[in-house]
A and B are shown apart, each in its own frame.
Chain A
């Protein structure tokens, strides 16, 4: 099946620093990618929809200036958590629907665990 990678898989940072998370579709192209956040023992909540070549669409309650999304190519979307604080600690997962379609219709990355100290 199609593969989506995320980098880094784990990151620990100090409060106030910015962290960039990459989501790559390795063997397919995607004009759209989705970013989800999952707190411990909770469900996945959609944060934003990343659109190649245009601005991301954020879900209600998600701060655009806090979570910067860039989708510069058909295989890469990045999420930057700016001025991270402990409450931003979470598991971040991206997904990408391939342009060519498929049974799964969306492929998920393995996730990035962010811990802000």
Chain B
């Protein structure tokens, strides 16, 4: 089975701190997709990003940035100047066999941002 590891089970930071959530995945595929989702207490999944394995450019979207390192199979997510509203569980999820295929969710990281 292709494994996804989010080593940090829980992270607690104080508002305005930067925080990085780690994601390491295992695959023998050369082409795949990587997703990050946010799950607030309501339970609904919020899409954050989709990255293609053949595009290794890092991406920034507002306070969010992603560092994709194909050589180490890692796709880390950084929140700059964290806010209380960022408190949620964050999932990394690779997708193999096409972008519309099933997602393999990581174990998730619970981020708590304290005021």
Binding site for B on A (CB under 8 A): 32, 34, 36, 41-46, 49, 91, 93, 95, 97, 101, 103-106, 108, 110-111, 113
> How far, in whole Å, are A34 and B98 apart by their CA atoms in the complex?
14
Smallest distance from the beta carbon of A25 to chain B beta carbons, Å?
13
25 A-B residue pairs with Cβ-Cβ distance under 8 Å, sorted by A, are A32-B100, A34-B103, A36-B105, A42-B108, A43-B105, A43-B107, A44-B91, A44-B105, A45-B105, A46-B102, A46-B104, A93-B45, A97-B99, A97-B100, A97-B101, A101-B100, A103-B50, A105-B33, A105-B95, A108-B37, A108-B44, A108-B45, A110-B43, A111-B44, A113-B43
Kindly state the interface size class of chain B when it binds its partner. Answer: 20 to 34
**Cα A32 to Cα B103 with chains together (Å):** 13
Contact A43 B99, beta carbon cutoff 8 Å: no
Q: Which of B91, B103, B106: most chain A CB closer than 10 A?
A: B103
